[in-house]
Amino acid sequence: MSVMEIFETMEYGPAPEAAAPGLAWIKEHEPFGLFINNQWAKPASGQYIESINPATGKQLTKVAAANSADVDAAVAAARTAFETWGKTPGHVRARYMYAIARHIQKHSRLLAVLESLDNGKPIRETRDIDIPLAARHFYYYAGWAQLMQSQLPDYQPVGVVGQIIPWNFPLLMLAWKIAPALAMGNTVVLKPARYTSLTALKFAEIMQEIGLPPGVVNILTGEASQVGEALVRHPDVNKIAFTGSTDVGRSIRRATAGSGKKLSLELGGKSPFIVFDDADLDSVVEGVVDAIWFNQGQVCCAGSRLLVQENIANRLIEKLRVRMEHLRIGDPLDKAVDIGAIVSPGQLEEIQRLVNQGVEEGAVMWQPSWACPSEGYFFPPTLFTNVSPATTIAQVEIFGPVLVSMTFRTPAEAVELANNTRYGLAASVWSDNINLALDVAPKLKAGSVWINCTNLFDASSGFGGYRESGFGREGGKEGLYEYVRPKWETMATPFEELHIARDSTPSNGSGSVQKEDGESAFQDLALGSSDGYVAALPAIDRTPKMFIGGKQARPDSGYSRDIYDPEGQMIGQVGEGNRKDIRNAVEAAHAASGWAVGTTHNRAQILYYIAENLSTREHEFARRIVQQTGRPYADAVAEVQTSISRLFSYAAWTDKYEGAVHRPPMRGAVLAMPEAIGVMAVTCPDEYPLLGFISLVAPAIAMGNILVVIPSQQSPLSATDCYQVLQTSDLPGGVVNIVTGDRDTLSQVLADHDDVDAMWYFGPAEGCKQIELASTGNMKRTWVNYGHPRNWLDPIQGEGEEFLRESTQVKNIWIPYGE
Ligand code: NDP
């Protein structure tokens, strides 16, 4: 055969990797136990479940099936270990993590073989991607363990973390979860997916090898209904980190609602792969191979929707078909194989069902002429053309080697088509015009955007979704915040201790609030003295309306609610908002979405202007606070002055919360850009009627969000007095919309609303639970206080980066250099 013929046919012989070392390791360890407290334990149930080799359909081994008794034992071990591990110096944790990374490298070939046997993915991928990246995560996070004390001095570990991982990248997902958790001083109970437990068990063995303290990492194999659910519901677990399907993510959100457990969800996707007509089509074809046939398309961020500019569509599709014809499918342990086996018969059936549906819905299906192996669970690479954007195969995550292609004419149409999905995990943009690519990238609703590349991952760069792809980030510095909480959260601050009880505020003579340590909370502020204020103002014969789209609007209900002072005297009335008012407010907010794309300088100017206008009315606002709360006048002045200072803080942050440039091990850079979340709902606390409102509204709008705000239910008049301040400060109409009324009724409508992207709720514990439960409709991001009031006067609790982080989501834009 001539070189030319070989080049044309791509014919080459098999290059098998030996299965023997992996099979021998399995034999040596049977029967597998559960890994609790650095010991192998028999499952309490006495039951074992089959682990199948998907490339043959035959049993590889059996693994222990844990149940809730084992979950109890593992959580107890993790809790005990946390007492020490949580206080272990960062340098010591870094040493352990360095050892883990080294040992993953030492066992890399065995891990790669086990992964391919267990999951069916090609050895080329496990050897070159899964295992090296897993090691890289432990190196990278060893660094954060070392730096935690200096770089996150105000944070502490969360505690015991329950981690539930899927089968598509078994060891890599374990590393994504365990590495940041240990780095930040947490202990872990991890459940691998039922189909793919073997590399997690080998990892457990590594924990013994390196002498990790007992109980820091516990690994429970078994079924979701026995292990996963028990872990999610366990009262002594402080956080759940989950990767998997959106449906299960939703059920976990419901199960943890109101519990105070921290939660991060990395869910499904239907990522667009956008090709403009000036892209290098040969590179694009290889990009598509990596986007949708990598790991048989069983990748949450697979580029499964090919969006091609119309004038090059035929040419690209033709090239793709030629390439598909040359893809090699077969034994995952063959180093020359491109596509391995699908993980299970169930997944295979589901792929086939969706492909059949695509054909029934009128799309044109194309598959290469060659046949798949008859043994095992294989599915050929599949390409759909003539796909309409609303059809099932264009909308639903197929999680297999199936690509659907559609066309667009203009960049604007490409963005619209790309964002026409309930997901938002990733996107690829292909164009030789960097200006065009960088213009499109921020417009895509996705956590990662790859420019002229695809499916690149690194520990340094955060990964995670927008919308129904979940919330929270894994990787990068942003991934650390999923595993820490502010140090002040341990300091119990029961409501009464905040000294803001309505009529019993202790005074130090000048009327300022005393902090627990005896210092004046307002000592840094120049306090005004009472200027002839009369305590018993007559009731105000005036009803502030709603504030919607920059205008005052009458409540749809036609009803008003009475507002009382602490003595029970009516001091005013506000509109009784209802569902219709909320709908109008959300609509008005969407119409103001240009706020996010305006300049940061402009947003800063407006925040300063709001502060300026508030300061000219300082005494009027202070009197209003006194009237509503009964607190001393000087305290009220301090509240107004702190509000002004807070507006200055966020005006300052507007152009300084900039993100980062990551340097993963490649020729290129990753821009980590914090972006506005979109339309946010904000329910304000009752304590500090003005400061509570400003402390939440200012950071959210500083970062470019548009808001629907429910002011304090008890004392809404400070917020409604702000209408004029906002109107006279050049804030565009619709950026802040205010609806007064029953806090929980209105909040519920907002939490249910699918056009609201995130919700903050500062109110009673039961309300927090209801918000978390209702948020599952569109998997909106929530931030609630679980009924624990903050001391809003304290800058550590009431302002700062925590608020900015909650106001943004990080988009990582990957930009490789060079030809
Ligand atoms: P699941 O979401 O069901 O499984 C992921 C993990 O969660 C597994 O460890 C599973 O355990 C566990 N789990 C399942 N149900 C619960 C529960 N109620 N409480 C706690 N843990 C639970 O994914 P599937 O394996 O069923 O795959 C179905 C679809 O999910 C795929 O077709 C794909 O669309 C999507 N998926 C997305 C992934 C991603 O990376 N985002 C990864 C995997 C799947 P067990 O294995 O024992 O069932």
Burial (CB < 10 A; 0-12, 13-18, 19+), residue 18, is exposed
With a cut of 70, say whether residue 353 has pLDDT above it.
yes
- Using only C-alpha atoms, the chain has a radius of gyration, in whole angstroms, of 29
With a cut of 80, say whether residue 685 has pLDDT above it.
yes
With a cut of 60, say whether residue 538 has pLDDT above it.
no
Q: Which atom of ligand 1 is nearest to the CA of 247?
A: 2
pLDDT for 541: 56
Write out pLDDT tens, residues 774-814.
999 889 999 999 999 999 999 999 999 999 999 999 999 99
pLDDT for 229: 98
Write out pLDDT tens, residues 746-773.
999 999 999 999 999 999 999 999 999 9
Mean pLDDT of 688-700: 98
Distance 470 CA to ligand 1 centre (A): 14
pLDDT for 1: 67
Write out pLDDT tens, residues 35-53.
999 999 999 999 999 999 9
Distance 248 CA to ligand 1 centre (A): 7
Residue 397 beta carbon below 6 angstroms from any ligand 1 atom:
yes
Distance 212 CA to ligand 1 centre (A): 29
Lowest mean pLDDT among 11-25, 428-442, 624-638, 725-739: 11-25
pLDDT band at 277 (very low <50, low <70, confident <90, very high): very high
Q: Which atom of ligand 1 is nearest to the CA of 269?
A: 41
Upper half-sphere CA count for residue 270 (Cβ side, 13 Å): 24
Burial (CB < 10 A; 0-12, 13-18, 19+), residue 502, is middle
First-to-final CA distance of the chain = 33
pLDDT for 525: 36
Beta bridge partners of 48: 64
Residue nearest atom 11 in ligand 1 by C-alpha distance? 224
Catalytic site residue from 229, 266, 397, 474: 266
Cβ contact 741:555 at 8 Å: yes
Residue nearest atom 6 in ligand 1 by C-alpha distance? 166
Q: How far apart are CA 283 and CA 262, in angstroms?
A: 42
Residues 6+ apart with CB under 8 A from 619: 528, 531, 637
Beta bridge partners of 761: 683, 784
pLDDT > 70 in the chain, percent: 93
Tell me, yes or no, if 684 is annotated catalytic.
no
Residue 267 beta carbon below 6 angstroms from any ligand 1 atom:
yes
pLDDT band at 539 (very low <50, low <70, confident <90, very high): very low
pTM: 0.89
pLDDT for 505: 36
pLDDT for 12: 74
- Which ranges of 680-764 does DSSP label H, i.e. alpha helix? 689-702, 717-727, 743-752
Residue 191 beta carbon below 6 angstroms from any ligand 1 atom:
yes
Burial (CB < 10 A; 0-12, 13-18, 19+), residue 741, is buried
With a cut of 80, say whether residue 381 has pLDDT above it.
yes
Distance 164 CA to ligand 1 centre (A): 9
CA 109 from centre of chain: 33
The vertex-548 CA angle with 545 and 550, nearest 5°, equals 105
Tell me, yes or no, if 266 is annotated catalytic.
yes
Q: How far apart are CA 202 and CA 356, in angstroms?
A: 39
CA 75 from centre of chain: 25
Is the bond preceding residue 235 a cis peptide, omega within 30 degrees? no
pLDDT for 533: 52
How many CB atoms lie under 10 A from the CB of residue 819? 3
Q: How far apart are CA 819 and CA 798, in angstroms?
A: 49
Q: What is the DSSP string of 331-391?
A: -TTBTT-SB---S-HHHHHHHHHHHHHHHHTTPEEE--SSPPPSSS-----EEEES--TTS
- Mean pLDDT over each residue of the chain, to the nearest integer: 92
pLDDT band at 816 (very low <50, low <70, confident <90, very high): very high
Write out pLDDT tens, residues 142-193.
999 999 999 999 999 999 999 999 999 999 999 999 999 999 999 999 999 9
Q: Which atom of ligand 1 is nearest to the CA of 249?
A: 2
Write out pLDDT tens, residues 8-27.
766 778 899 999 999 999 99
- Rounded to 10°, the helix 131-151/170-183 angle is 10
How many CB atoms lie under 10 A from the CB of residue 69? 13
Residue bearing the bigger pLDDT, 106 or 817:
106
**What separation in angstroms does the CA of 78 have from each of 193, 213, 216, 617?**
20, 10, 6, 55
Residues 6+ apart with CB under 8 A from 757: 467, 677, 678, 679, 680, 778, 780, 781
Mean pLDDT of 58-84: 98
pLDDT for 114: 98
- Which ranges of 599-667 does DSSP label H, i.e. alpha helix? 600-616, 618-629, 633-654
pLDDT for 504: 36
Write out pLDDT tens, residues 231-271.
999 999 999 999 999 999 999 999 999 999 999 999 999 99
